[in-house]
A and B are shown apart, each in its own frame.
Chain A
Amino acid sequence: MANVNLSKINKVFGSTHIIKDLDLEVGDGEFVVFVGPSGCGKSTLLRLIAGLESITDGDMHFADDLVNDLPPRERGVGMVFQSYALYPHMTVYENMAFGLKLAKTDKQSIEQRVMETARILQLEELLQRKPKELSGGQRQRVAMGRAMAREPRILLFDEPLSNLDASLRVQMRNEIARLHHRLGSTMIYVTHDQVEAMTLADKIVVLRDGRIEQVGSPQTLYQQPATKFVAGFIGSPTMNFMPAELLGGDGNGCRVSTPGLGELALPQDASGKSPGAELSLGVRPEHLRLAEAEGENAFEIVNVEYLGNEVYVYLEPKAGDTLLIHRSEAPSRWHLGQRVALVPDIEQVHLFDATDKALAVNGAKAAA
């Protein structure tokens, strides 16, 4: 087990700069998840950590060792691949023992470690089977077993669940979480799926274009997104954004005007911004309340989705605009075609400036 320290890491493929001056600290035993849009460099970063790609510039430490130049086997990392990449001609046992054999471990300890890993992953009955005789979930577990068998300091996962169907994915997600509690080893996990990210991570790293957009616990990212990008990326259904104009404000709060909502007094610190500045106002679907329409601030309900435990109501600000989403517990009294007013929960509203940075909520509250 070890902590991982990346400082000023860069990766250049030919003339494309993929990872740009990236700094990251992963604590010992932490479960870190990389998320971000496709092509932002998640896999590349993971492969740099694995040693499958070499870093162009920067330093990488595991515990106190500089690992820049070490091949994967000397770094003490294990990796689980998206396609599992099990050796098709070897049995489950041989798959897990392969790395140990290459490390010239003696026969007895190989057997002991493979059996131990198999026990943890409940693979004992499958040890003599070939990969093609296994189900998707079982293959997934073998892939993890193979990565774990050499007792690596760090376990890496690149979208390990994306080849599984939805229900199996939930089950495996659970198993990975429990595995992490049990082993307590450092794990770094890449995914597209934000539910996986939110449920598994101690710490989420949001990447965009080879840079870190924000690092934090799932809760921090959800409640205090640092940028509009993070706010839009985390949470499902996604956050609603509306244009807003700053009317005035100081370090303790501000007033903005938003078409359709009217004037709002918000707790954000607007010092340094001049009245008239163009802002973006963000509210999560569950932080909106619907009320009977009165006056001109009204929206038409264009669709209502019933999901059993909750209801999504879609509203159209003006013809052609992006739809706004309201989310509430079922049952809902709202129906198609109704005109309603929107009331945001003032405490839960986010404001972003023209550079997409979030405006901070003043001191005392931010800490709380």
Chain B
Amino acid sequence: MNRYQQIKLAKQIGKWALIAVIMVYAIFPFYYAVITSLKPSSELFQVDFWLSSVDFGNYAQIFSQDSFIQAIGNSILVAISVVFIALLLGVTASYALGRVRFRGRTTVMLVVLGVSMFPQVAVLSGLFEVIRTLNLYNSPGGLILSYTIFTLPFTVWVLTTFMRQLPMELEEAAIMDGATPWVTITKVFLPLMWPAMATTGLLAFIAAWNEFLFALTFTLTDSQRTVPVAIALISGGSQHELPWGPIMAASVTVTVPLVILVMIFQRRIVSGLTAGAVKG
């Protein structure tokens, strides 16, 4: 083996070592959570890197609690409603922003961008008042309303990027056929936008599913909580005796569907994320 080959080999080894480190770093915490959740409580406090036996006790325990099942139901209800509303309002708005030139368009774009960068805490007290006035405190409705503050700007922003990419001549053809803007959106653009809508909807769903601050503040009783709050509030006898087994079981339960979704729609998610951030 000459010097050149040695260097090449060393580079190969270095590359694969780096890949291995990154893989372990990315996956291990989740893997460890899965292992912990599948251990019987007697073995919880000994450190293991793999399972010697599988025990579903922790899962049985969390699913025997009504409040956890309710929390999953609430999370699903809230996330799906939010996605639906954001897409509904977002599609028409993004048509206006992406395809019509008018005065004030840049201003509206800046407003949308500005709202998406809002610190949630800054609206907390005002929103609290709005929600209480509308009698939505401690109910999914309040969360649905408040979540539009981050899902709607994001949806509009990403869909506008996609709208801009649709060919001009297609819209002109529709105009020649006598289509109004509304007909153009519903009959011509929407059928072509499904992939983009799916991506955006998925990203909005994840954001809503993971939200914590509003859910913590605007709900009061166990039956109205969403999953992140429910998990955060699982507690044992004292600060130092957290029931780690059930916590990990709950964590894995709400994460697995997301991880599977992300794996399936990997490509779309990447394109949606980059469309939201880097325009072009």
Contact = CB atoms under 8 A, between A and B. Distances in A.
Q: Within the complex, are A and B direct neighbours (CB within 8 Å)?
A: yes
Interface of A: 50, 52, 71-73, 77-79, 81-83, 85-89, 98-99, 102-103, 146-147, 150
Given A99-B176, A102-B178, 11 more contacts: A50-B176, A72-B178, A73-B175, A78-B176, A79-B172, A81-B169, A86-B173, A87-B173, A98-B177, A99-B177, A150-B177
A73 B181 CA distance: 13
A1 to B, nearest CB: 18
A158 to B, nearest CB: 9
B178 A85 contact: no
B8 to A, nearest CB: 45
Interface residues of B, number: 16
Nearest to A104: B178
In the A-B complex, the 3 residue pairs with the smallest Cβ-Cβ separation, listed nearest first, are: A73-B178, A99-B177, A85-B169
Nearest to A83: B169
B99 to A, nearest CB: 14
28 contacts: A52-B172, A52-B176, A72-B175, A72-B176, A73-B176, A73-B177, A77-B176, A79-B173, A79-B176, A81-B169, A81-B172, A81-B173, A82-B169, A85-B167, A85-B169, A85-B172, A86-B173, A87-B174, A88-B192, A89-B191, A98-B174, A98-B177, A102-B179, A102-B183, A103-B178, A146-B173, A146-B177, A150-B178
A71 B188 CA distance: 19
Contacts of A79: 172-173, 176
B170 interface: yes
A274 B111 CA distance: 70
Contacts of A81: 169, 172-173
A147 B167 CA distance: 18
Nearest to B194: A89
Given A81-B169, A102-B183, A87 B176 contact: no
B101 to A, nearest CB: 11
A52 B175 contact: yes
Nearest to A147: B176
Nearest to B187: A98
Contacts of A99: 176-178
Contacts of B170: 85, 87
B167 A87 contact: no
Nearest to B170: A85
A73 B183 CA distance: 14
Contacts of A147: 176
A86 B170 CA distance: 7
A118 to B, nearest CB: 17
A88 B179 CA distance: 16
B103 to A, nearest CB: 14
A20 B249 CA distance: 75
A76 to B, nearest CB: 11
Nearest to A96: B177
Nearest to A79: B176
A357 to B, nearest CB: 38
A31 B80 CA distance: 56
A102 to B, nearest CB: 5
Nearest to B177: A99
Contacts of A150: 177-178
Contacts of A88: 192
A130 to B, nearest CB: 12
Interface string B176-219: 11110001000110011000000000000000000000000000
A150 to B, nearest CB: 8
A87 B166 CA distance: 11
Contacts of B169: 81-83, 85
Contacts of B167: 83, 85
Nearest to A90: B191
B125 to A, nearest CB: 46
Contacts of A98: 174, 177, 179, 187
Contacts of A103: 178
Contacts of B173: 79, 81, 85-87, 146
A99 B183 CA distance: 11
Contacts of B179: 98, 102
A99 B170 CA distance: 13
Contacts of A85: 167, 169-170, 172-173
A138 to B, nearest CB: 17
A82 B173 CA distance: 11
Interface string B151-179: 00000000000000001011011111111
A147 B176 CA distance: 8
A12 B178 CA distance: 25
Contacts of A77: 176
A88 B174 CA distance: 12
